[in-house]
A = this chain, B = another copy of it.
Amino acid sequence: MRAELIGIGTEILLGQIPNTNAQWMSDRLAGIGVDVVHHQAVGDNLDRIADAFRLALSRADVVISTGGLGPTQDDITREGIALALGVPLVRRPEIEEFLREKFRRMGRDMPEINLVQADAPVGARYLLPDRGTAPGLVVPVGDRVLYAVAGVPAEMREMMESTILPELAARSGGKVIASRVLRSTGMAEARVAEVLADLFDTATNPTLAYLASAGEVKVRLTAKASSPEEAEQLIDPLADEVARRLGATVFTTTDENLEVVVARLLRASERRVACAESLTGGALAARLTAEAGSSDYFVGSAVCYTATAKRDVLGVSPATIDGPGVVSEACAREMAAGARRLFRSDVAVSLTGVAGPDPHDGKPPGEVWVGLDAPNLQTARHIRAPGDRALVIRWAEQAALDLLRRYLEDRIEDRIEG
């Protein structure tokens, strides 16, 4: 099955936004065995949009467009599809009712301009969104099918995952590709590559690939087979071997984010965590609270940017501030203890360091101390994070989450690389 993607919006052609939708959709379509053979992008121009749909329908089995489904005057994807197919648009009262209800729930009147979102080409199905207000369209064209979804990435992903990918997977029937992602933190990419070199050279199905990002390395195993189960069975032995070699640095074998792993461990052990943050400025707490239900395991975080705040709020001692300073093992330990006391949590993690670009308190950018305080353990770790300000912050978050993960997994004694 061949697919073609059409990104619609003058902002793409002006270079104001990257067409990230095309990459995400291509990756996910490949994952269910659909061949994406063309991408197109066009501006908010009726004739060019219609031409793009005609061209795509002449050479692909499935056409998916993103963008141009909003309520404003430059949102003309609906008209473009109608023009390409030579069918009129009709107002669908069910969509209109959905839109009015959506606005009612937000406590607002629906602006009349939004009514155009209730228009659909004759013969089309519509997809009602959870996010946003833009309904998606599904238009059968002979034995081909055209999908139109919103350009806002989160809204596009919602419709792809809930409807389009499952429908296309069912249509394609044949070979499937399955991937499994192990994620490791605390070991450099080059070291991971060294440890897995012979597997990388010899593995063919599944294949093995690395992807490094701030503070972690992903190892992706990809197998092709005639069923998802068969693909998973092909992956199992290689995944086991990779996990064995990387040991405690592997925090997930199912592509979970580190904060999701930590949340699961906290929930399972019925413990609640508090944080004391400096250089991460709240980013550690924001990661721990990104998932729904985080109040089950997260109490709070004291973000203390200044030495005075560290003393007043967290009780860091003047002797530490005037002695080893705010970027030190002693400060990390006292911050963690202070956070556990302040928030009355079961465990607390702390972070202090230099995000950069300038040195702070006599320490260079990238210098970070991570602390942990629990009834049975007080400890701290030192890391030297590479890269710019944003990268240092990300590395620091990873180090704090990983120290907490190892504590909760009772693997705190395992060596952590600097």
Which residues of A come within 8 Å of B, CB atoms? 7, 10-20, 22-30, 35-45, 48, 55, 70-74, 106-108, 110-111, 113-114, 130-132, 152, 154, 179, 188-191, 193-194, 197, 200-201, 209-213, 220, 222, 275, 277, 280-286, 288-290, 292-295, 298-306, 308-309, 312-313, 342-344, 355-358, 360, 366, 384, 386-391, 418
Contact = CB atoms under 8 A, between A and B. Distances in A.
A73 B201 contact: yes
5 contacts: A38-B42, A38-B48, A74-B210, A281-B298, A300-B309
A15 B10 contact: no
Contacts of A391: 131, 154
Given A188-B108, A282-B286, A312-B344, A387 B132 contact: yes
B23 A17 contact: yes
Contacts of A211: 11, 16-17
Nearest to A308: B344
A96 to B, nearest CB: 14
A16 to B, nearest CB: 7
Q: Could you say how many copies of this chain the assembly holds?
A: 2
B299 A306 contact: yes
Contacts of A280: 286
Name A's interface SS: mixed
A300 B313 contact: yes
Given A201-B73, A300-B305, A277 B282 contact: yes
A304 B308 contact: no
Given A13-B36, A15-B23, A285-B282, A290 B42 contact: no
A213 B132 CA distance: 10
Nearest to A158: B388
Given A26-B14, A210-B74, A300-B305, A39 B295 contact: no
Contacts of A131: 387-388, 391
A64 to B, nearest CB: 13
B26 A15 contact: yes
A393 to B, nearest CB: 8
A18 B18 contact: yes
B285 A294 contact: no
A220 B16 contact: yes
A274 B358 CA distance: 23
Contact of A48 (B37, B288, B342): B37
A343 B23 contact: no
Contacts of A107: 384, 418
A108 B111 CA distance: 68
A81 to B, nearest CB: 18
A396 to B, nearest CB: 12
Nearest to A391: B131
B27 A152 contact: no
A35 B48 CA distance: 14
